[in-house]
Chain A
Amino acid sequence: MRHAFAVRVGPASFRIGSAWRAPVEALADLYRDYPPATVPDFTVRLEPTRPWRRWLRPSVAIAGDFTLPEAAPLPLAQALLAAEMGMNLQMALGWRRHLLLHAAAVERDGRALLISGESGAGKSTLASLLATRGWRFMGDEFALLDPASGTLAPFPRPASLKNASIALAGEGRWGPLLEGTPKGDIRHRVPDRAAIDAMDRGATPALILFPRFGEAAAARAVAPSEAFARLTQASTNYQMLGEAGFVALTRLVRDVPAVAIDYPDTATAIALIEERWA
């Protein structure tokens, strides 16, 4: 590949190769505060779908150590999104050192809040907003649960915010606006320097949150069995880890309380969260 970029995020290192220069330049800028990778865990390749698509209506196919054959290619203007999806795919299919939960995480006083939910529930937005209120941003896509110790390892990649959330998440450094992607308009918010520098410092999970956006404010406790079932569905590698995954997840739901909240706006969500954070 003509152009390459390497970066470490938490415990995982990536090498991203690209047939075009622009995506690599955009990545180098977005990740300029991050440590470089030495020996990468994963390779991601941004390739033209056909040789002539390198120039004609350039179209980026996501390739790498791990692929899913049904991935739809993206226009070159959205290559940053393609790179992010490529990295997500490598983690989702290839990372075995932690139990991966599709969740955001923020830390306060050594204790972590885990925010689990489907796309649109508000994980990225809430995590980014909490990061502007004194919490340390640990990630918005994957929470990494160490099966041996039960602690969470940070994966503080720039948060991917969509549509209306872009306006909400406040100050900070941002990547370029990517318009009209399959997930809507997207902008990456770079975590503050302190959060990036703390990428090797774990935290003990203290509360699991299942938020749901667009409903009148409400909160209820979630029983451990329900949290367990929901988190198995929010994990990309629960099955692959076998008994270690079972032990890690049962321990998490027994040790850590879980709450589901409905919220009409982020201010309400933040209030509900801080109320329950003892």
Chain B
Amino acid sequence: MRYRAPPATALATVRLDEFTAVYHRPSGATHLLVEPAPEILAALVEPLTLDELADRLAATYELAGDAGALVARVDELVAAGLVAPA
């Protein structure tokens, strides 16, 4: 199963502090995201499986936390309507 973020035109993003405010244009919903959600959204600019996502993130960051946490974060983004199965 691959996941992808919405296209850039679908989101308005404003960094507030450690939280990033995101307006999702298709749904009109507003969310406040904290690490690692914005980073996951950025990585999912192309469709990735969970393993590919973990690798992609690990290439840039020192991941602190286990695979279970990453799955939970992606599930949350799906539940919020910000990430969709590709």
Q: Does A232 contact B (CB under 8 A)?
A: yes
Contact A243/B25 with A225-B32, A228-B32 known, Cβ cut-off 8 Å: yes
Q: Does A229 contact B (CB under 8 A)?
A: yes
**A228 and B12 within 8 A (CB):** no
Q: Mark A18-44, 1 if CB is under 8 A from B, else 0.
A: 000000000000000000000000000
In the complex, what residues of A have CB within 8 A of residue B12's CB?
243, 246-247
Q: Does A224 contact B (CB under 8 A)?
A: yes
Q: Mark B19-60, 1 if CB is under 8 A from A, else 0.
A: 101010100101010000000000000000000000000000
Q: Does B62 contact A (CB under 8 A)?
A: no
Q: How many Å lie between the Cα of A223 and that of B14 in the bound state? A: 14
Q: How many Å lie between the Cα of A224 and that of B18 in the bound state? A: 9
For B, the interface residue count at a CB cutoff of 8 angstroms equals 12
Q: How many Å lie between the Cα of A242 and that of B18 in the bound state? A: 23
In the complex, what residues of B have CB within 8 A of residue A238's CB?
30
Give chain A's interface residues, CB within 8 Å of chain B.
Answer: 223-225, 228-229, 232, 238-239, 242-243, 246-247, 250, 253-254
Q: Which chain A residue lies CB-closest to B18?
A: A225
**A239 and B28 within 8 A (CB):** yes
**A223 and B21 within 8 A (CB):** no
Contact A243/B23 with A225-B32, A228-B32, A232-B30 known, Cβ cut-off 8 Å: yes
Q: How many Å lie between the Cα of A225 and that of B18 in the bound state? A: 8
Q: How many Å lie between the Cα of A232 and that of B17 in the bound state? A: 17
Contact A228/B21 with A246-B30, A253-B16 known, Cβ cut-off 8 Å: yes
Question: Which one of B19, B23, B25, B28 lies within 8 Å of A225 (CB-CB)?
Answer: B19
**B16 and A246 within 8 A (CB):** no
Minimum CB–CB distance for B64 against chain A, Å: 22
Q: How many Å lie between the Cα of A242 and that of B28 in the bound state? A: 6
Minimum CB–CB distance for A226 against chain B, Å: 8
Contact A250/B16 with A225-B32, A229-B32, A232-B30 known, Cβ cut-off 8 Å: yes
**B25 and A224 within 8 A (CB):** no
Q: How many Å lie between the Cα of A107 and that of B25 in the bound state? A: 35
